[in-house]
Every structure is written in structure tokens, then in C-alpha cells.
């Protein structure tokens, strides 16, 4: 849904705002009158940090066309080619961001750990480059401190457990470099965990996979269950002593996509304490877009079989021209948020956009400047300020604090794990 800005008479605008705005809301007077719900959303996001669970900007910098890996050339003070730059983060009132340090699980030409370390390097250089706007954050307290100083608290989230190369020592080194969540898998099933979009080889987590979760709990690294199979979600919930997150997923009851979270898992979140950070990925929030995406995948697969890659690309462009994607909408994203609230509860929902990680975005949520519009929609749907604050970031802050406290306790109880995949899973490993 887009925001209408009719030139209302001033009196009507003032009346609307009097009903719609909280006591502490600011807002500007003048003409044209601002949308009351949007003004309310903007005031709310000044008072509480909006924490987004997933943004793929570091990968965009890595693969930038003219200057790959070049944090200086990818100048965030200028309009950036994709969804994220400093001006739009400011307009979107983003309070803290988990920058995804994604590593492709299907690459063949380089070790995962090398690429993972390069992604740490890109993200850390990016954060250090803008000290007046970004502040490295490792804890819930860091996020709140940065927010008070009007800096965007910047956390690192790893996307894909393949990057630990079956080593708990590597996992611990990533924590030391600043990783504060790890998505257990990306799209490829690992030696120790099944992915949502790949074959289920283990029925969930292997014994080593469970040890990875236990070690993440001991470190205080959030266990991220976006991208994993329902079996892995379930096993991780059985094992984890700290709340889990889903850094960028939506509700499977509304869109039956394997990347989304089934109601049976949502129902387990109150006991675990975790949070589903609802994503904006069009194929996960819109059934029409999901069907279009699936048709496009089949077409692309067929075209890849052509010997001539230029011809294959030409025909793919032709296919896209003949089959324009249906629009996903901001309103659909709000529906997923409300579904998670309904099934898991308002203490277990957050926001995880996946900006910079997708080619298409919903109408109304085109880039990082649009977050307040989503809050305005929920205000129109009757959400209270207290619930909006939980959604924006208070739930995630609670999860982080619980994970930090669990780590303190577990570090008193046990030493770092030195168990290996060979010991725990026997001859089943293939790497
Ligand atoms: Zn992802």
C-alpha cells in the first residue's frame, strides 16, 4: 500500500493526528498535511530502535561491477545502485542492522572460510568508514548506546553454516570477529543440517549439528533458523537453551514456500522465547509472485540447457518481457506480521527485510527508506505503540539479552567443545 498525501484542510489533519498520535509524538505542521499514521510511525521510531534482521549490502560491495570488494568506491554517502545507502537508512529510521556476511553455499572455486573472512573484512571496513553514522555493535547494550548517539548499530550475521567447514574452532573464531548470528544453512544441505530448499538427508540436525547449536549457545551467537528445513527448525528448538531467531522468513500458512515458517514451529516460539523477523522477499509474501518465480525457474532451467549462453540470456530476457512479475505489496508483508503475531504472539515477531539480497521488492517497500510506511500501515490496522515497539526492536533486544545471559551461564558450566563431526556422526560425513 502506498501512502496518500491529500491536501486536507489543516483542521481535519490536526484532528486526525490528535486521535492517531501518541502523547510523545512529534510530527510537523504545515502544508500539505502529513499522513497522520506516517507521522505517528516516524515519532515512534524516534523513541525505539528499529532493528532489521537481514541486509545483504556486504555481498553487493563484493560483487560491485566496476570496483569489486572496494568499500571506498561503493560510497554510501552517494545514492547507491541497490536498496541501501546512508541517506535512505536515515529516511527509513533504521536504528540497528544485522549486515549479512553471506557466503554462497554452491561455489566451487574457493574455500568457504576464505570467502567468509573476506566478507567479515568488507563489512568491518564498511562500518569503520562512516563513524559519524555507523557504530559497530556486539551486544544489546551496544545497540541502545548507538541509538542514543544517533548511530546505526551495526551487527554481523553469518548466512550459512557451511562457512565453519565442520569445525567448532572456526565457529568460535567467527564469534571473536564479531558474528552475532549464524543461519545454520543457506540453500544447500550440509553434512550436519538439512536446508529448506535442498533434500533432507538427516531429518534435521545430526549429532554434530546439535553440538554446533550448543556451542553457539555457549558463545552467545544467535541460532538463525531462516533457510533451514522444518526438521532442522524442530531439532534446533529441542536443543537450544537460548531463544532462536529467523532473520528473514515469513509465514508458511499464508504462502506455502519452503523458506517460510510453519504454524507448528511458530507455536513453539513462546516457550523458546525466539523471534521471527518477517521478510519482504516477494516470493515469500505473495502467492502470485511465488508462482511467477517458480515458472521463471523452470524457464531458466530449460534455457540453461542451450549451448549458446548469449542466446540463452536473450531468451531469458524475452521470457521476462513476456511474463512481467506480479506485484507483491506492503499490505501482504503486514499480513505476515499479523499472522506471526496471531500464532506465536506479539513477543515473537520482528522485521528482517533482506534488502540488497533480492532483485524485486514489494510495492511500498522499495528500499530501506520505506520502513516507516510499514509501521504506518500497522498503525492503521490498530496496533498499539507498545506492540509496535516490540516489533521494531524490543523483542530482538530481549532475545539478544537472553542469549548473552545464557552464554555467561554456560561458560561457567562447560569448556569450549572440542568434539568433531567424525566423533559424533561417524562415517556419515562426506567432506
Ligand atoms: Zn537469505
- From the list 83, 162, 186, 202, the catalytic residue is 186
Q: How many CB atoms lie within 10 A of CB 293?
A: 18
Cell numbers 573484512: residue: 121
In the prediction, which pLDDT does 32 show?
A: 56
The yes-or-no answer on residue 56 being catalytic is: yes
213: part of which helix (H) or strand (E)?
A: helix 207-219
Residue 98 near residue 57, CB atoms below 8 Å = no
Distance CA 279, CA 349 (A): 11
In the prediction, which pLDDT does 102 show?
A: 96
Beta bridge partners of 158: 101, 182
The yes-or-no answer on residue 339 being catalytic is: no
pLDDT in tens, 260-300: 999 999 999 999 999 999 999 999 999 999 999 999 999 98
What the block records as the C-alpha cell of 280 is 519482504
The yes-or-no answer on residue 354 being catalytic is: yes
Note the maximum CA span of the chain. Answer: 75
Residue 344 near residue 275, CB atoms below 8 Å = no
pLDDT in tens, 80-130: 999 999 999 999 999 999 999 999 988 876 789 999 999 999 999 999 999
Cell numbers 551461564: residue: 409
Taking Cα atoms as reference points, which of 162, 49, 192 lies closest to residue 101? 162
Taking Cα atoms as reference points, which of 159, 335, 183, 358 lies closest to residue 255? 335
Beta bridge partners of 195: 228
pLDDT by residue for the chain (431 residues), tens only, comes to 333 333 333 444 444 444 444 444 444 444 555 699 999 999 999 999 999 999 999 999 999 999 999 999 999 999 999 999 999 999 999 999 999 999 998 887 678 999 999 999 999 999 999 999 999 999 999 999 999 999 999 999 999 999 999 999 999 999 999 999 999 999 999 999 999 999 999 999 999 999 999 999 999 999 999 999 999 999 999 999 999 999 999 999 999 999 999 999 999 999 999 999 999 999 999 999 999 999 999 998 899 888 888 999 999 999 999 999 999 999 999 999 999 999 999 999 999 999 999 999 999 999 999 999 999 999 999 999 999 999 999 999 999 999 999 999 999 999 999 999 999 999 654 44
Distance CA 202, CA 191 (A): 8
Distance CA 201, CA 21 (A): 52
In the prediction, which pLDDT does 110 show?
A: 76
CA of residue 128 to ligand 1 center, whole Å: 24
The yes-or-no answer on residue 248 being catalytic is: yes
The yes-or-no answer on residue 70 being catalytic is: no
Distance CA 29, CA 234 (A): 51
Share of the chain residues as helix, strand and coil, in percent rounded to the nearest 5: 50, 15, 40
Q: How far is CA 111 from CA 107, 114, 189, 283, 393, in A?
A: 8, 5, 17, 30, 35
The residue ranges of DSSP E strands in 86-243, in sequence order, are 94-102, 134-136, 152-159, 179-183, 222-224
The yes-or-no answer on residue 90 being catalytic is: no
CA of residue 227 to ligand 1 center, whole Å: 7
CA of residue 283 to ligand 1 center, whole Å: 12
Which alpha helices (DSSP H) does 355-394 contain, by range? 371-380, 385-389
Amino acid at each position: 500500500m502506498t501512502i496518500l498525501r491529500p491536501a486536507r484542510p489543516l483542521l481535519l489533519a490536526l484532528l486526525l493526528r490528535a486521535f492517531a498520535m501518541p502523547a510523545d509524538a512529534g510530527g510537523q505542521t504545515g502544508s500539505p498535511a502529513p499522513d497522520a499514521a506516517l507521522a505517528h510511525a516516524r515519532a515512534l521510531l524516534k523513541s525505539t530502535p528499529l532493528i532489521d534482521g537481514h541486509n545483504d549490502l556486504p555481498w553487493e560491495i563484493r560483487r560491485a561491477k566496476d570496483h569489486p570488494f572496494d568499500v571506498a568506491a561503493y560510497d554510501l554517502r552517494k545514492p547507491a545502485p541497490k536498496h541501501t545507502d546512508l541517506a535512505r537508512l536515515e529516511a527509513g529510521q533504521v536504528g540497528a542492522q544485522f549486515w549479512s556476511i553471506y557466503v554462497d553455499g554452491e561455489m566451487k572455486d574457493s574455500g568457504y572460510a576464505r570467502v567468509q573472512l573476506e566478507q567479515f573484512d568488507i563489512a568491518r571496513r564498511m562500518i569503520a568508514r562512516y563513524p559519524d553514522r555507523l557504530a559497530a555493535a556486539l551486544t544489546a547494550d551496544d545497540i541502545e548506546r548507538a541509538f542514543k548517539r544517533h548511530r546505526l548499530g551495526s551487527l554481523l550475521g553469518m548466512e550459512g553454516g557451511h562457512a565453519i567447514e565442520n569445525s567448532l574452532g572456526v565457529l568460535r573464531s567467527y564469534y571473536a570477529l564479531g558474528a552475532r548470528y549464524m543461519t545454520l544453512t543457506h540453500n544447500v544441505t550440509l553434512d550436519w543440517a538439512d536446508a529448506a530448499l535442498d533434500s533432507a538427508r538427516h531429518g534435521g540436525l545430526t549429532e554434530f549439528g546439535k553440538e554446533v547449536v550448543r556451542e553457539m549457545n555457549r558463545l552467545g551467537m544467535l541460532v538463525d533458523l531462516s533457510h533451514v528445513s522444518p526438521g532442522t527448525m524442530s531439532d534446533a528448538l529441542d536443543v537450544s537453551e537460548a531463544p532462536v531467531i529467523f532473520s528473514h522468513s515469513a509465514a508458511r500458512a499464508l504462502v506455502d514456500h519452503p523458506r517460510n515458517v510453519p504454524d507448528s514451529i511458530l507455536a513453539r516460539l513462546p516457550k523458546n522465547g525466539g523471534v521471527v523477523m518477517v521478510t519482504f522477499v516477494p516470493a515469500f509474501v505473495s502467492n502470485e509472485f511465488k508462482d511467477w518465480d517458480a515458472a521463471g525457474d523452470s524457464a531458466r532451467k530449460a534455457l540453461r540447457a542451450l549451448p549458446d549462453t548469449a542466446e540463452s540470456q536473450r531468451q531469458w530476457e524475452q521470457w521476462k518481457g513476456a511474463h512481467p512479475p506480479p506485484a507483491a505489496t506492503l499490505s501482504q508483508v503486514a499480513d505476515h506480521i499479523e499472522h506471526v503475531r496471531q500464532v506465536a504472539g506479539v513477543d515473537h515477531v520482528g522485521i528482517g527485510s533482506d534488502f540488497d539480497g533480492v532483485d524485486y521488492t514489494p510495492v511500498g517497500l522499495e528500499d530501506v527508506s520505506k520502513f516507516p510506511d510499514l509501521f504506518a500501515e500497522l498503525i492503521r490496522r490498530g496496533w498499539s505503540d507498545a506492540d509496535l515497539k516490540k516489533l521494531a526492536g524490543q523483542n530482538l533486544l530481549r532475545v539478544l539479552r537472553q542469549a548473552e545471559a545464557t552464554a555467561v551461564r554456560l561458560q561457567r558450566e562447560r569448556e569450549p567443545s572440542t568434539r568433531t563431526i567424525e566423533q559424533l556422526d561417524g562415517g556419515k560425513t562426506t567432506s
